[in-house]
């Protein structure tokens, strides 16, 4: 469906307006449209261009959620916390199974390693119990297939395990899934919501939100380049699904609702024998650390840093790159990785739920300010939990607006990239492509490659210009903006620090 002109929304009324077209916002639009609500989904940028585009790209098995932050002997002193962790892990494993069952085309399966080292916080027997408990909580539908090998046997089975150094005592092996393309999950979910009746308007900022006697007055402002416009509409209920920007939405009520946690990842090319293999471990600081496969490459991280700055201003820092490389070299000392091995890096801000602005709260939450019960904010979700979060929102909407119909359910299919110019033009108009970055990074797989789509940017800019009747000046401007976006979001470090990727068109 073509993107509606902003003027067409002026004076209209929706039962629900959703702010934020990330994974949760898109799933919520789909869930509400499926249940018969007149729904509008808006985002100040593109679908899936925020936190959803900067995730760890893995379905996290949930074992890590069983691990307390306090010493193990204190577990008996925190029964409520441990019960909450069990409940949360159960929900995580169920959501994991749901994605594998209903979105198999969006996932890839890989073999992962878990190194055991002398002095580990969690002994091997306890980790094994954790994996089996997670499988049991997930009702064994898609098992992790955990098994443990001694150091010699593990080295004989895997080139990655053979390179593990230090005080290694053994290696755990398990199977897990990764997102083939997180951004495409958002796009395909949003398009499915549209097919079910939702209206989608990207590059549309909410600049005003005011409650009257019985409804919300919502002001929208055009954010498409070279276009202007304002629309005023009304809504019975508003869902704030803006991720780490939730507390920054104008008129969105009192906060803080989210605690931002910054995570940095770096992309490298590891030995050929590592291809398709991954690793999960704990860092020297006791935080999660991983090495995940990505096509022919691997990315490593994350950092775990609480931040309060505007997520738009968050950038990868030199010290964060150095920390990740140092942790990787402790695991694989013979590789001797340095900044010259880093192709590019990226960071995102995870919107963890919080009640006090200082400490995180584990579960996904749908919260309403008592003074404005028709304004819901959804916090604490990950991509793996996005469908669960959407159902939570839908139940809260039903409590406030009443139950409508229950539409048809079904899987979300990932379409194949177009192979012709005509197919590309159809995609541009059907999938709400506004800018060159939308096409390269979130509609076509080119943005996932080692060069982040820079090698086809010129070619695709011509194709997009033809599809949208751009002038040559507009095409050049979009090309420059795309290079700037790549350099800003995925900086490429060298021995002397970060270099602007657009200088040569090559990331690294």
For the record, the structure tokens of 155 come out as 């080295």
Q: Where do the H-state alpha helices sit in 344-404?
A: 386-401
Please report which residue ranges of 309-362 form alpha helices under DSSP H.
Answer: 318-331
Q: What is the pLDDT of residue 314?
A: 93
pLDDT at 408: 61
* Chain CA centroid to CA 55, Å: 4
pLDDT in tens, the chain (508 residues): 778 999 999 999 999 999 999 999 999 999 999 999 999 999 999 999 999 998 888 887 778 788 777 777 687 788 888 888 899 899 999 999 999 999 999 999 999 999 999 888 888 999 999 999 999 999 999 999 999 999 999 999 899 999 999 889 999 999 999 999 899 999 999 999 999 999 999 999 999 999 988 899 999 999 999 999 999 999 999 999 999 999 999 988 777 899 999 999 999 999 999 999 999 998 888 888 999 999 999 999 999 899 989 999 999 999 999 999 999 999 999 999 999 999 999 999 999 999 888 888 878 999 988 878 899 999 999 999 999 999 999 999 999 999 987 766 678 888 899 999 999 999 999 999 999 999 999 999 999 888 999 999 999 999 999 999 999 999 999 999 999 999 999 987 654 333 333 332 322 3
- Cβ–Cβ under 8 Å, residues 231 and 7: yes
Q: Contact at 8 Å (CB) between 349 and 374? A: no
Backbone angles phi, psi at 328, to 5 degrees: -65, -40
Could you give the count of Cα atoms lying within 13 Å of 277 in the half-sphere of its Cβ? 17
The candidate with the shortest Cα–Cα distance to 218, out of 12, 486, 470, is 12
Distances (CA, A) of 399 to 38, 193, 376, 377, 448: 16, 21, 12, 15, 41
3-class secondary structure, 493: strand
Helix (H, G, I), strand (E, B) or coil at 416: coil
Q: Which residues contact 242 (CB under 8 A, 6 or more apart)?
A: 19, 20, 22, 25, 248, 249, 252
What count of residues does the chain have? 508
Q: What is the pTM of this model?
A: 0.93
């Amino acid at each position: 469906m073509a993107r509606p002109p902003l003027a067409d929304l002026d004076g209209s009324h929706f039962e629900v307006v959703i702010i934020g077209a990330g994974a949760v916002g898109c799933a919520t639009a789909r869930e509400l449209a499926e249940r018969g609500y007149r729904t509008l989904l808006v985002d100040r940028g593109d679908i899936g261009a925020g936190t959803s585009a900067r995730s760890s790209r893995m379905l996290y098995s949930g074992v890590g959620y069983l691990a307390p932050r306090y010493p193990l002997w204190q577990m008996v002193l925190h029964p409520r916390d441990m019960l909450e962790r069990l409940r949360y892990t159960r929900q995580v494993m169920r959501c994991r199974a749901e994605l594998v069952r209903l979105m198999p085309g969006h996932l890839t399966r890989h073999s992962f390693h878990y190194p055991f080292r002398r002095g580990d916080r969690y002994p091997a027997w306890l980790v094994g119990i954790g994996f089996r408990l997670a499988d049991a909580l997930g009702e064994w539908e898609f098992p992790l297939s955990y098994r443990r090998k001694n150091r010699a046997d593990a080295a004989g089975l895997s080139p990655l395990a053979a390179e593990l150094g230090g005080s290694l005592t053994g290696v755990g092996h398990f199977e897990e899934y990764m997102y083939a393309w997180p951004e495409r999950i958002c796009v395909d979910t949003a398009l499915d919501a549209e097919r079910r009746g939702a209206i989608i308007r990207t590059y549309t900022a909410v600049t005003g939100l005011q409650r009257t006697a019985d409804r919300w007055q919502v002001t929208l402002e055009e954010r498409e380049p070279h276009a202007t416009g304002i629309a005023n509409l009304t809504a019975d209920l508003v869902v704030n699904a803006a991720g780490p920007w939730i507390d920054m939405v104008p008129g969105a009520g009192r906060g803080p609702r989210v605690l931002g946690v910054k995570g940095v990842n770096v992309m490298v090319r590891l030995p050929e024998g590592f291809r398709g293999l991954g690793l999960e471990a704990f860092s020297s600081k006791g935080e999660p650390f991983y090495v995940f496969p990505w096509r022919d490459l691997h990315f490593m991280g994350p950092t775990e840093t609480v931040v309060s700055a505007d997520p738009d201003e968050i950038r990868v820092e030199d010290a964060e790159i150095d920390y990740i490389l140092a942790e990787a070299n402790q695991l694989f000392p013979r590789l001797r990785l340095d900044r010259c091995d880093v192709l590019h890096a990226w960071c995102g801000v995870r919107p963890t739920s919080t009640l006090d602005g200082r400490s995180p709260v584990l579960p996904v939450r749908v919260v309403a300010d008592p003074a404005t019960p028709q304004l819901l904010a959804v916090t604490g979700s990950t991509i793996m939990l996005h469908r669960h979060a959407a159902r939570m929102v839908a139940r809260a909407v039903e409590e406030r607006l009443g139950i409508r119909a229950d539409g048809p359910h079904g899987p979300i299919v990932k379409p194949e990239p177009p192979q012709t110019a005509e197919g590309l033009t159809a995609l541009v108009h059907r999938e709400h492509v506004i800018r060159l970055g939308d096409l390269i990074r979130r509609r076509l797989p080119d943005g996932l490659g080692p060069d982040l789509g820079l090698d086809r940017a010129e070619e695709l800019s011509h194709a997009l210009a033809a599809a949208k009747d751009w002038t040559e000046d507009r095409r050049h401007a979009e090309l420059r903006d795309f290079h700037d976006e790549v350099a800003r979001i995925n900086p490429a470090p060298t021995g002397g620090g970060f270099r602007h990727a657009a200088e040569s068109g090559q990331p690294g």
